[in-house]
Amino acid sequence: MKKFVFLSAIIALLLSGCEETPPEIDFKVPIIPLKDSTYIGTAPAPQHKAVLIEDITGVRCINCPDAAQKAKDIVAQKTSDSVVVMAIYPITIFDNFTHPYAGVPQLASNIAKDIVQTLGLPQGLPNGYVDRKIFIGKSDPVISYTEWINYVNIRLQEKTPVNIGITKEINNRKLKVEINLQYNTNALAGANHKYAIYIIEDKIVSSQTTQSGINPNYVHNHALRYAFGLTMGNPLIQTTVPGRTYVKQYEYEMPAEYVIENCHAICVVLDSVTNEVINVREIDLK
């Protein structure tokens, strides 16, 4: 009996000494669209291509407000119909930058974490991606915010094979968003694409580290809040050909902390292999 007690004590001691925090597991189940259809009709004329800037940022990052201003300047110069911005605050990865101040909204998320873990981690913040593309001379898609405009100009010269349409309905706080993906006359048969739909929010007041100290009334814009289905994109199953149209419709109960009139839905069509952005569009939810 004494031997049993002694062995039990040793085992308990070893277990307590080896205790560690388990890795974070994402139990998120892909969301099934309310409406999911496809058909082939007449190929439409092409939309102009729009470019996605993803600003990898944080609330305790002294230079992150400079990157946010740079993105704002680019949109003002190019128009919001040509450049879409999404600010992503990856949780835990850059905890010294993204850990929230007490009593203010939590902007860091696992959705943002999924994106940077998939595409590539920057050495520090602020940084970002332009169309999630690995440009010539680079080993990953991470782009310094001081270079965003150069690569935006390159990407705006590209043609897109897919036109993106987004519509929405809001009843109380229930959002219904529908996307219409039409493969235009630029489309090639057999393309391997996927789509992602995100919700972002503007005008979120929160504390922010700046070069002048902590600003308790800093305004965050384009903050990534939610992803419909898979964070990195939902597959388009049927064969892609000119004239192919996909219709996807989702529903979402907007959380009380989201200010709907400050929110936007973003639809991104991506290359399934490289994650490069093929086209992107944004719509206000107000």
Chain segment 52-93, per-residue pLDDT in tens: 999 999 999 999 999 999 999 999 999 989 999 999 999 988
**How many structural domains are present in the chain?**
1
Tell me: the pLDDT tens digits for 218-243?
A: 999 999 999 999 999 999 988 899 99
pLDDT (average), residues 134-139? 96
In a domain, residue 245? The reply is yes
In a domain, residue 110? The reply is yes
CATH number at residue 237: 2.60.40.10
pLDDT of residue 9: 39
pLDDT (average), residues 202-208? 96
* 48: containing domain: 26-284
Q: Range with the lowest mean pLDDT among 27-31, 103-107, 110-114, 121-125?
A: 27-31
In a domain, residue 271? The reply is yes
In a domain, residue 17? The reply is no
In a domain, residue 166? The reply is yes
In a domain, residue 16? The reply is no
User: Structure pTM?
Assistant: 0.88
Position 28 pLDDT exceeds 90: no
CA dist., res. 15 & res. 18, Å (int): 5
- Mean pLDDT estimate for the chain: 90
In a domain, residue 279? The reply is yes
Token code pair at residue 141: 């898609």
pLDDT of residue 30: 61
Q: Is 105 exposed, middle or buried (0-12, 13-18, 19+ CB in 10 A)?
A: middle
Q: Which of 186, 182, 190, 170 is nearest to 248 (CA)?
A: 182
pLDDT of residue 1: 42
Q: Range with the lowest mean pLDDT among 84-88, 105-109, 230-234, 278-282?
A: 105-109
In a domain, residue 2? The reply is no
Position 5 pLDDT exceeds 70: no
| Contact (CB, 8 A) for 222 and 86 | yes
Position 27 pLDDT exceeds 70: no
